[in-house]
A and B are shown apart, each in its own frame.
Chain A
Amino acid sequence: MDFKDVLKSTEFGIFIAFLALCAILSFATPNFLSIYNISTVMKQVSFIAIISVGMTMVILTAGIDLSVGAVLGLVNVLAALFITKFGLAAGISSALLCGSFLGFVNGIIIVKWSLPPFIVTLGMMNIARGLALVITKGWPITGLPECFGCLAEGRLIGVPVPVIIMIIVYILGYLFLSRTIWGRYIYASGGNEKATWLSGVNVNKIKILVYTITGFLSGLAGIMLASRLSQGSPITGTGYELSVIGAVVIGGTDLMGGKGSVLGSLIGASIMGVLANGLVLLGVSAFWQQVILGVVIIIAVAGGSMRRKLLSKGES
């Protein structure tokens, strides 16, 4: 990839938009560019951003996962439960396993019964959220050990731990998608599922894999949120699926599959985080924030599609 390709890439376009947004906000409010504020924003973004890595893979295969917020909530509750019962290490790993398993179930059902991912994960969203409420009877689970809190509140060389986890997840996600054969297969099956299958690729396995990864990452975010709030609450992560899908779509990943990257999703999540933070600093009411966020999602997608049209005109 040479310099010209970088300039032409979708990610670069979104990154410019991101920089512009930051520039405007740092002029508009003096507090925006402070180290404290930036690290707060990054921490807030990290939960959405981590799940976005999985969601990017799902959307690349032309699927969708609406259950991420609910899976996050259920794992959040389970983590709190398991940790209070079996201790830290066993609790965290079994909670992660549960998240992965829920994603795996999504994948299996989509593949074996050839059902639309939208419907299956919509069902899973209700099941997971419902189970979280059943388990807790609607009450938060407390009594988590103090040291568990450092997962979300601790810092390593000045950087919040969730941000570090996010960076690791992104590096792994990036390597996975761009360097491994499974990454190639994910792009291929999103680009043309039938042709990929006819080339001898087990497309079903690939699909199960991406939903499992998404379940795992939702679970990871759920555990981090349990640490942050030092409790397991059945309503954690309500509405997260829309923020995550928003981040991926702002990041330029095509809902039709086959095109996009985790890098774009990271910028997408950052745009959403920075925007929310900036609006708070500017004193915009929370109600209006939501309106503005909606507008930004539409503008971002419209801008992306216009850009693509312009670029493809220049080529043909």
Chain B
Amino acid sequence: MKSKNAEKYILELKNVSKAFPGVQALNNINFNLKKGEVHSLVGENGAGKSTLLKILAGAYKKDTGVITLKGEEVKITDPKQALDLGISVIYQEFNLIPNLSIAENIFMGRAPRKKSGFIDFLKLHDDAVFFLKKIGMKKDPKTLVTELSVAEQQMVEIAKSLSLSAGIIVMDEPTSALTESEKETLFKIIGELKEKEVSVVFISHIIEEVLEISDRITVLRDGEYVKTVNAMDTTPQKIIRMMVGRELKDFYPKIEAKKGKIVLEVKNLTKKSKYEDISFRLHEGEVLGFAGLVGSGRAEVMRGIFGIETPASGEIYIRGNKVKVNSIFETIKMKMGFVPEDRREEGLILSRSVKDNINITKLSGINSYGFVKKQKEEEIADKYRKRLNIRTPNTQQIVQNLSGGNQQKIVIAKWLAIDPRILILDDPTRGIDVGAKKEIYSLINDLAKEKIGIILISSELPEILNISDRILVMREGRITGEFTRKEATQEKIMQLAALKN
């Protein structure tokens, strides 16, 4: 028997719950999806978005509740079955095989065969072109996936979903690795999917883009269903209030710090085909924002200054002293800290404790004859746990088990432990929840007050605009402009970041 909502909703979740030992990850969640609709799921980390996504993908089984698809109750028991039902999930980490071609990836395990049993490559490529065209991708289907940009890989994933005749595509943080222009392309594709009556479940941290792309938005908080609203009738402030259960006043708190002496001076830093002729100064207590698109060379410049990837030429002065340009050991000794973009790969030792991670930069200073002063070690860990409000039962906790926001705080804490004079933050709020973001903004303020010179790279323009005292814009490896906090606007920056003069 079909329910009366059968025409209205292609997918309906009613009172879906899921518990893990010790946590109620989802509690009586309701969610429905119309044909050709973009319906976003938002919530802080731990709100239950990923659990819900994994239930739809067949990776987890729900405990209770009902899922109906086109009016019929279904049980999604494994990923294969989810695909058969027409639900395709595009994870943040793509499921592509780098050393195979686009076409082979799209038809992974389903490649057309000749009578002899060998793969019919002609048909394979024709079929691939058919689906690539649907999303406006012009790449040769024989191109290896490893040669594609992140955005292009994502498009391959979407083409793959379409080839599986998925009526529902779930996208988990699809924009997190995209540049501004790539994001626009993605949104255009999503628009086209809608026209083809494909429904999209869109998961993102960035409220502005959720409002831009969605028809409806469902907010989750701590595993509970909060509300579903029409994107037209709401505002970012309202969404954030629903997500956190409180209003975040002064989301970007900014206290102008007093500018002090020059702590860092970079002269003519150059690395071929990465960046050229980069010169700037950073003062004590100043937050210097670096704006630019992904690939503009901002991150590479910072990695060059810190000594990770050696620049070809140029000079670096820290507090007036010239430093060798290829030694991370030297820059750290000069009290420079670097919070990398990819905290899991480069920032943290996930298998070790909070205490060990915070103290890693500090051990050489807290030992006698090589033996670690355990009490000192615990004091330091505890000090920063309190100061940065790292939410963990104790400092023995393995870092892997903590949320993204808390992990990021640990990476920052490890640099605060060396009492830094310069701190480089490469996209410090990437993929962390709203509450933790705000805490990190306040922290940046406090650190500036303590006369630390801070360089901030961010993929979110509002963040750079609101947190920085001064903003440098980079495009194609060169600095293309400089603004004070007062002069800068989103439009001015985008113009210098994206357009040729």
Contacts and interface: CB of A to CB of B under 8 A. Distances in A.
B348 A192 contact: yes
A188 B401 contact: no
Given A200-B332, A314-B21, A188 B360 contact: yes
B160 interface: no
B21 A180 contact: no
Interface residues of B, number: 32
Q: How large is the interface on A (under 10, 10 to 19, 20 to 34, 35 or more residues)?
A: 20 to 34
B20 A192 contact: no
A13 interface: no
Interface string A70-94: 0000000000000000000000000
B361 A200 contact: yes
A259 interface: yes
Interface string B336-368: 001010000111111110001001110110010
B132 to A, nearest CB: 35
B328 interface: yes
Given A181-B372, A187-B352, A259-B351, A194 B360 contact: no
Contact of B371 (A179, A199, A200, A315): A179
Nearest to A256: B351
Interface in B1-35: 20-23
B350 to A, nearest CB: 7
Contacts of A201: 360
B308 interface: yes
Contacts of A314: 21
A197 interface: yes
B350 A200 contact: no
A196 B349 contact: yes
A188 B352 contact: yes
Interface string A291-316: 00000000000000000000001111
Contacts of B356: 184, 187-188
Contact of A191 (B308, B329, B340, B351): B351
Given A187-B356, A198-B338, A180 B372 contact: yes
Contact of A188 (B338, B340, B345, B349): B349
Contacts of B347: 195, 198
User: Top 6 A-B pairs ranked by shortest CB distance?
Assistant: A191-B349, A200-B332, A181-B363, A191-B351, A192-B349, A180-B370
30 contacts: A180-B370, A180-B371, A181-B363, A181-B364, A181-B367, A181-B370, A184-B359, A184-B360, A187-B349, A187-B352, A187-B356, A191-B352, A192-B350, A194-B346, A195-B346, A195-B347, A195-B348, A195-B349, A197-B328, A199-B414, A200-B332, A200-B333, A202-B329, A258-B351, A259-B351, A314-B21, A315-B22, A315-B401, A316-B21, A316-B401
